């Protein structure tokens, strides 16, 4: 997402453009019925959607300094892209970006990848994540429980969903939490090829 003039106005918040300050963004593709991955933690359902192999670059957050993800999201990328065997691909996908992976187990790390494993709640490591990002944005890639923890501590600024024309009978839900409508302000809704793009600014409780 390109950086635009900072504003809280809905009229000026368009095309998913974010304020020129460090923000924590959850941005992911989901099914029509709200799943991030299938019951085996696979994202293959997304790549089966025509057009998903060539995503609109405007759908991706810009000015990102830190990625945050859970173990299942991380391991799917490691295994599906064979990143342990081809560590150079990691640097092609995530050049100059620090990645934090929340996990309670030891996970493999591609050679030379700037990856740190964190064992504990988001609240414990939030200062470290913010400090690493500096003036850049933090992109939370998934999964849903990790997103929920950022919301629990009132740390999420933007919730962006790219809704695919697909459904799963079961799997990993995007958000296993109850959220009131007052907590979210819709700032963008548009078509992006076969996808529907929704962007919400999160109204902080404090």
Kindly tell me the sign of the dihedral angle through the C-alpha atoms of 41, 159, 18, 127. Answer: negative
pLDDT tens digit string along 56-110?
667 788 899 999 999 999 999 999 999 999 999 999 988 889 999 999 999 999 9
Looking at the structure of the chain, the number of domains it has is 1
- Inside any domain, residue 8: no
137-142/24-30 β-pairing: parallel
- Inside any domain, residue 16: no
- pTM (predicted TM-score): 0.86
- Inside any domain, residue 18: no
Question: Over 60: is that where the pLDDT of 187 sits?
Answer: yes
- Inside any domain, residue 54: yes
pLDDT tens digit string along 11-53?
333 334 444 579 999 999 999 999 999 999 999 999 899 877 6
Host domain of residue 176: 24-33+42-202
Q: What is the largest CA-CA distance in the chain?
A: 47
Domain of residue 86, CATH code: 3.40.430.10
- Inside any domain, residue 135: yes
Measured in residues, the chain has a length of: 206
- Inside any domain, residue 97: yes
The residue to which tokens 């359902």 are assigned = 45
- Inside any domain, residue 12: no
- Inside any domain, residue 151: yes
């Amino acid at each position: 997402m390109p950086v635009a003039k900072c504003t809280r106005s809905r009229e000026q918040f368009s095309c998913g453009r974010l304020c020129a300050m460090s923000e924590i963004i959850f941005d992911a593709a989901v099914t029509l019925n709200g799943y991030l991955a299938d019951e085996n933690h696979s994202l293959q359902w997304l790549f089966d959607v025509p057009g998903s192999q060539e995503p609109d670059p405007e759908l991706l957050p810009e000015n990102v300094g830190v990625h945050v993800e859970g173990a299942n999201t991380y391991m799917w990328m490691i295994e599906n892209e064979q990143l342990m065997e081809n560590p150079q691909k990691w640097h092609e996908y995530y050049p100059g970006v620090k990645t934090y992976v929340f996990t309670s187990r030891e996970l493999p790390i591609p050679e030379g990848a700037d990856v740190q494993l964190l064992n504990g709640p988001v609240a414990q490591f939030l200062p470290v994540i913010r400090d690493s990002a500096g003036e850049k944005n933090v992109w939370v890639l998934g999964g849903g429980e990790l997103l929920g923890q950022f919301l629990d501590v009132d740390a999420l600024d933007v919730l962006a969903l790219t809704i695919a024309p697909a459904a799963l009978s079961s799997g990993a839900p995007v958000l296993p939490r109850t959220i009131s409508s007052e907590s979210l302000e819709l700032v963008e809704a548009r078509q992006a090829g076969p996808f529907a793009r929704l962007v919400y600014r999160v109204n902080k409780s404090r």
